[in-house]
Amino acid sequence: MDRDRDETDRRDAPCHPRAIDTLTAERIDRIRWIARRHYQVTDAWFIPAKGGEWHDIRGSNTTLELADAQVFCHRTLRHDAPLVIEDARRHPDFASHPLVAGPPHLRFYAGVPVRDPAGSGMGTLCLIDTAPVASSALDLGMLQVLATQVEEELGKRPSPQPALKPSRDHIDTLTGLPNRRLLQMLMEAELAVARQRNHSLSVCLINLDGFKCINESHGSAIGDEVLQVMAGRLRDAVRRQDLVTHLGGDEFAIILRDRLQPEACNRILDRLRIPIRTSTHALTLTASMGVTCYPDDDEDPDALLHHAYQAMYSAKEAGKNGYCRFDLKHHHFRRQRLALARDVHLALSRQQLELFYQPKIDYHGDTVAAFEGLLRWRLPSGDILPPGAFLPAIENSWLDIEVGKYVIDIALRDLDRILQRGLPYSISVNVNPSSLLDSGFIDHLHHALALHDRDLAGRLTLEILESTSPPEELDTIVSNIQACLRLGLQLSLDDFGTGQSSLSYLRTFPTQKIKIDRSFVIGMLDNPEDEAIVAAIIGLSKSFKRRVVAEGVENGAIEARLKGLGCDLGQGFYYSPALPFEQAMTWAGDYSRRRH
């Protein structure tokens, strides 16, 4: 019987629903709260499988009793693996789903299976959000740990007194090793001792590479034999005082009462690589291991195990058959980056992102010709953050593309105001490679331009960052650049001279303008090589019939030298910093009156 049919039969089979008692429901609510808090999402749900045995006696608080949500649950259980939908509104199977098209207007879903002791799916623990979330910014390790806790909660039998010491329920019947529940108890005790005595403690998470294929190819009986052999090898690979546990499936954990050295990691993995002879087969497996160590990683037992999971996934991504240590600095950096990205998303929704405008001076007529729109974040406190303080946190993400569209919309709105006042200025804005690679970016431009005067397109210049254009995606970028030209937009090659293929890009990108990177302009009076580069870029641009813009004009001497070299336009602090729209317009009017 194939997987889909087996899943259908399981769901349609007669069942006798069992109510989740109040205490268990409260504990599951706590697990949901931890998931929601950890991932900073709109909510976390526990969704029982359709036809499953569990339902919530209190109504919607735990399960939400949304029958439609079981479609997501079924998809997760059918594949027996985590399911991530970055943006349900763009997903062909879920775009018209009632929970997507209507309340709660779900956009993001990430779910992991919740299984009973026999391995059958009881439901899913899942994250939902009303905004899209990039999977690259997501680590489902903690969600899988929390799903296991839900499994344990649903598997408990009511008892008048909680267990205060290990019992048979804490031993894995297949391997004879302590199970996850006992691991939690022992980790707390071991960590307390390590803190009291200033000792080290290592937590290792081991996952067998390719074990699922063994179960599928040779059956679960052979799989069980493999797990029993691996359990014995792990016990033999460590000291008597170290703790080896079976977490379930093909996952094991080891707790060592000191700092795990590289040779010990390799010794453990070498033991697991030895070919296995079962009753009917000879099999060879490898393993991936993640390691974290207290007190460097000074966290509680749950967090230490989660960090070991993260390191194990890093070992998998690095090619499997090896180990990785948890990178605490990278972890903190990543958490800060994700928190900042969430703040940027919130700022975007609240329209706290603004364009400030820096003037560009036409050297042939000594007039203000245009402005570059530079993104700023106005905090509720009134402080202004420059783009370097927040844009790196969203680089190459869906949010990066959304911010790019927002910038286009603001620039067109301000161009409308310029046109209504009868002013001659144009506006340029930076366009990142992510936008030029996004299939919806040109459509957004088309619809945005349709809302404005037809003459507006010729006054908007898109500045393409030459130094960050991925060479392997040049065909797509060039195609979208040509689409921009067909819409009547102006294009400029920004940061020219800083990339490794500047001359090639000058020939490939059909732009009307070239902008010389400020690093060459600022140093051109003191460094003959910088001046030679500036002169060469101006000469090349003239040969290709492109107008030249120099940024980084800091004083009158630089301005005079650029004019002498034949530069067309200049911008920099010698004229003005970037200003809010109205202040920029006032400055331009004052400049014209001073010069004429």
Q: Is residue 76 part of a domain?
A: yes
What's residue 191's pLDDT? 84
Interhelix angle 328-349/398-420, rounded to 10 degrees, is: 30
Distance from C-alpha of 458 to C-alpha of 590, rounded to nearest angstrom: 25
Residue type at 559 in one-letter notation: E
What's residue 235's pLDDT? 87
Please, what is the end-to-end C-alpha distance for the chain in angstroms?
A: 86
Binning pLDDT at 50, 70 and 90, where does residue 395 land? confident
Summarize the confidence of residues 408-435 as an average pLDDT: 93
Q: Is residue 340 part of a domain?
A: no
Q: Are residues 146 and 231 in the same domain?
A: no
What's residue 413's pLDDT? 95
Whether 138 shows a pLDDT value over 80: the answer reads: no
Whether 161 shows a pLDDT value over 60: the answer reads: no
* Residues shown for the chain: 596
Distance from C-alpha of 285 to C-alpha of 293, rounded to nearest angstrom: 26
* 488-538 tens-digit pLDDT: 999 888 877 665 445 666 667 778 888 888 889 999 999 999 999 999 989
Q: Is residue 449 part of a domain?
A: yes
Summarize the confidence of residues 302-310 as an average pLDDT: 89
Summarize the confidence of residues 393-422 as an average pLDDT: 92
What's residue 180's pLDDT? 86
Residue type at 319 in one-letter notation: G
Interhelix angle 474-486/441-450, rounded to 10 degrees, is: 10
Q: Are residues 461 and 583 in the same domain?
A: yes
Distance from C-alpha of 562 to C-alpha of 560, rounded to nearest angstrom: 6
Distance from C-alpha of 270 to C-alpha of 265, rounded to nearest angstrom: 9
487-522 b/e (C-beta count within 10 Å ≥ 16 → b):
eebbbbbbbbbbbeebeebbebbebebbbbbbebbb
Summarize the confidence of residues 358-386 as an average pLDDT: 94
Q: Is residue 94 part of a domain?
A: yes
* 212-233 tens-digit pLDDT: 888 888 888 888 989 999 999 9
Q: Are residues 129 and 230 in the same domain?
A: no
Q: Are residues 433 and 560 in the same domain?
A: yes
CATH number of the domain residue 249 falls in? 3.30.70.270
Distance from C-alpha of 338 to C-alpha of 42, rounded to nearest angstrom: 15
What's residue 251's pLDDT? 93
Bridge partners for 431 per DSSP: 464
* % of the chain residues with pLDDT over 70: 86
Q: Are residues 559 and 445 in the same domain?
A: yes
Structure token digits, residue 372: 């570059």
Q: Determine contact, residues 545/336, Cβ cutoff 8 Å.
A: no
> Going by C-beta distance under 8 Å and a sequence separation of 6 or more, which residues neighbour residue 371?
357, 358, 359, 360, 425, 426, 427, 428, 584, 588
Of the three residues 115, 134, 155, the one that is the final residue of a domain is: 155
Q: Are residues 382 and 488 in the same domain?
A: yes
* Greatest mean pLDDT among 276-285, 294-303, 353-362: 353-362
Structure token digits, residue 53: 């045995």
CATH number of the domain residue 8 falls in? 3.30.450.40
* % of the chain residues with pLDDT over 90: 36
Structure token digits, residue 253: 């954990």
Structure token digits, residue 468: 């960050």
| Domain total in the chain | 3
| Other CB atoms within 10 Å distance of the CB of residue 266 | 13
Q: Are residues 214 and 186 in the same domain?
A: yes
> Going by C-beta distance under 8 Å and a sequence separation of 6 or more, which residues neighbour residue 308?
203, 204, 205, 253, 290, 291, 292, 326
CATH number of the domain residue 360 falls in? 3.20.20.450
Which pairing describes strands 384-385 and 43-48: parallel, antiparallel, or unpaired?
A: unpaired
What's residue 497's pLDDT? 60
What's residue 5's pLDDT? 37
Of the three residues 120, 155, 190, the one that is the final residue of a domain is: 155
> Going by C-beta distance under 8 Å and a sequence separation of 6 or more, which residues neighbour residue 189?
none
> Going by C-beta distance under 8 Å and a sequence separation of 6 or more, which residues neighbour residue 422?
none
Domain membership of residue 377 as a residue range: 352-595
What's residue 421's pLDDT? 94
Q: Return the H-helix or E-strand segment holding 474.
A: helix 474-486
Of the three residues 155, 185, 216, the one that is the final residue of a domain is: 155
* Burial status of residue 93 (CB atoms within 10 A of its CB: 0-12, 13-18, 19 or more): exposed
What's residue 475's pLDDT? 78
Which pairing describes strands 121-129 and 108-115: parallel, antiparallel, or unpaired?
A: antiparallel
* 5-47 tens-digit pLDDT: 333 333 333 344 455 666 677 778 878 887 887 788 999 988 8
Binning pLDDT at 50, 70 and 90, where does residue 260 land? confident
Q: Are residues 287 and 238 in the same domain?
A: yes
- What is the chain's mean pLDDT, rounded? 83
Q: Are residues 217 and 281 in the same domain?
A: yes
* Burial status of residue 371 (CB atoms within 10 A of its CB: 0-12, 13-18, 19 or more): buried
Q: Are residues 321 and 372 in the same domain?
A: no
- Could you tell me which of 440, 513, 501 has the C-alpha nearest to residue 474? 501
Q: Are residues 469 and 393 in the same domain?
A: yes
Q: Is residue 338 part of a domain?
A: no
Binning pLDDT at 50, 70 and 90, where does residue 154 land? confident
- Could you tell me which of 315, 324, 321 has the C-alpha nearest to residue 209? 321
Q: Determine contact, residues 151/145, Cβ cutoff 8 Å.
A: no
Q: Determine contact, residues 108/82, Cβ cutoff 8 Å.
A: no
What's residue 560's pLDDT? 95
Q: Is residue 344 part of a domain?
A: no
Q: Is residue 450 part of a domain?
A: yes
Binning pLDDT at 50, 70 and 90, where does residue 162 land? very low
- Could you tell me which of 172, 173, 245 has the C-alpha nearest to residue 204? 245
In terms of C-beta distances under 8 Å and separation of at least 24 residues, what long-range contacts does 6-13 make, across chains too? 7/74, 7/77, 7/78, 10/51, 10/120, 11/49, 11/50, 11/51, 11/74, 12/51, 13/51
What's residue 575's pLDDT? 95
Q: Is residue 163 part of a domain?
A: no
Binning pLDDT at 50, 70 and 90, where does residue 393 land? confident
Q: Are residues 273 and 371 in the same domain?
A: no
Whether 412 shows a pLDDT value over 80: the answer reads: yes
